[in-house]
Amino acid sequence: MPTRLPHAIVVGTLALLPLAAPLRAQGAVQPPAATPAAFRIEEATIADVHAALRSGALSCRQLVQGYLRRIEAYDKNGPAINAIVVINPAALATADSLDRRYARDGFVGPLHCVPTIVKDNFETIDLPTSAGTLALKGWQPTRDAFQVQRVRAAGAIVLAKSNMAELAFSPNETVSSILAGYTRNPYALDRVTAGSSGGTAAAVASSFGTVGLGSDTGNSIRGPSSHQALVGIRSTMGLTSRNGVVPLFDSQDIAGPMTRTVADAAAVFQVIAGEDPGDPVTAAARGRPIPRYADSLRADGLRGARIGVLHAAYDTPTLDAEVNSVFQQAIDDLRRLGATVIDPVAIPTLDSLRRLQSGACSPFRHDFETHMARVADSRPPVSTVDEILKSGRFHPSIEARLAAAVRVTESPAESPGCQARERYRAGLRLALRQLMDSLRLDAVAYPTWSNPPRLIGDLNTPGGDNSQVFSPATGFPAITVPMGYTRTVLPAGLQLLARPFAEGTLFKLAHSYEQGTRHRRPPPTVPPLR
């Protein structure tokens, strides 16, 4: 198929062109220039951007130029964060269009001129999509993913596509074949970002864009957010669409925002939430009014809340002492800010429920190939797992997993292991609901990770991922928010899980905690540019 790669600025293994050269070659933009001194781009929120635009202190072009300068200085140069796969060459032209529309009509929507970093498993009509694998290099989808459509319609600019753990396989690290080397944690360059949305997390944490979009099968929004002092939310299953996101496990996949503040997460979530006819699971949202999530953002939102500490999510022999200390301080802060904390709370039937699971459940092959069949009109280079394996165009770390997937011939509906898993999930949903109802809990709390970010290349020390069990298995929503640091600089996250469709409650609680503690600080390796 004829490739459209010349129409994008591709970095890493796709091309070796410097940032400014292809921009000038397109004849569409000028080299990146400095943002006005009066506006600090680092850590800028949506509200900051909009206030500066309204006052005339900033143009959309200047904002985009500022982010491009930071990407140029820090992504492949300087600390070499290695988060960006492809930069949108139309970003400045889009910014110019938004500036003209603003001068004529005002903001086009609630995300007007919000430069957005998009994980590379979201399909984009104007940029290649690889899902982190060289096997899909050059694939140009013919439509945007639903969430990409929504944020663009709200005025956002897709600034760049970000690196990910290849095919979203790893929750622990972000390494792929589409970029050489690991994506690095900007808080400590020798540490992992977690996965699989580690590129989005590193880019947003480094202020390469205002907000980001990631996906979460078991951990992949909340884990990288925790590792990089971000806010990340996994929605109720059925409230947000996965249409146009290359799947890992369709029964667990969720897509959503990764941001530096709770308010920004709520703003993006407002735009993407709701039914999508292209994703049948969102029928659960049909007829359900979408709340105005900004109304939940009150500094006193923890006052009168009831929060249970779910020890089963995190309390193991490998729990890191510093993470536990930071979490205990978070519990104290929740109480100080007005919450009633019940510590501990437990699911009495958890062990017996876990015994319901038997046999393997491996839906990746079925879900990936079903999805690729749906996008056959865009002529992807590979459409099956077997084709990926035979191509040899993937990172060596996923070869065994690809080989195992090829051997799976039954669909999830035909798999005894998947059927057993669904029985476990149904039981866990009921048990968790009963726990929360019996104690009148608004949420349960636990550390997002029980251990600090590992050293890059270390897969032997305890990982500590606590996101995999309760939210993905039940479909209940969960949010992570910064709760402090271990080893002086390594971020840790507080996770809150609520009942289905209680995202407003999560935003309320997380915002109140965020405002009452102010743990977020910018990473030291990517300082302001002069």
In angstroms, rounded to a whole number, what is the distance separating the alpha carbons of residues 399 and 464? Answer: 24
Place of tokens 């202020």: 207
Show which residues are catalytic.
119, 196, 220
CB 95 within 8 A of CB 61: yes
Strand order in the sheet with 340-345: 9-10, 84-87, 157-162, 115-119, 211-216, 254-259, 231-234, 478-486, 490-497, 443-447, 306-310, 340-345
Peptide bond into 344 cis (omega under 30): yes
HSE-CB for 222 with a 13 A CA cutoff: 32
Count Cβ atoms within 10 A of the Cβ of residue 295 and give its class: 0-12 exposed, 13-18 middle, 19 or more buried.
Answer: exposed
Strand partners, 306: 340
Cα 469 from chain centroid (whole Å): 18
In angstroms, rounded to a whole number, what is the distance separating the alpha carbons of residues 72 and 529? Answer: 11
- Segments of 120-275 assigned E as strands: 157-162, 211-216, 231-234, 254-259
The amino acid present at 530, given as its one-letter code, is: R
In angstroms, rounded to a whole number, what is the distance separating the alpha carbons of residues 86 and 83? Answer: 10
CA distances from residue 164 to 133, 172, 186, 194, 224 in whole angstroms, order as listed: 9, 11, 16, 10, 10
Tokens found for residue 375: 């996008």
Q: At what angle do helices 503-517 and 321-336 cross, to 10 degrees?
A: 100
Cα end-to-end distance, the chain, whole Å: 44
Q: From the CA atom positions of the chain, what is the Rg in Å?
A: 22
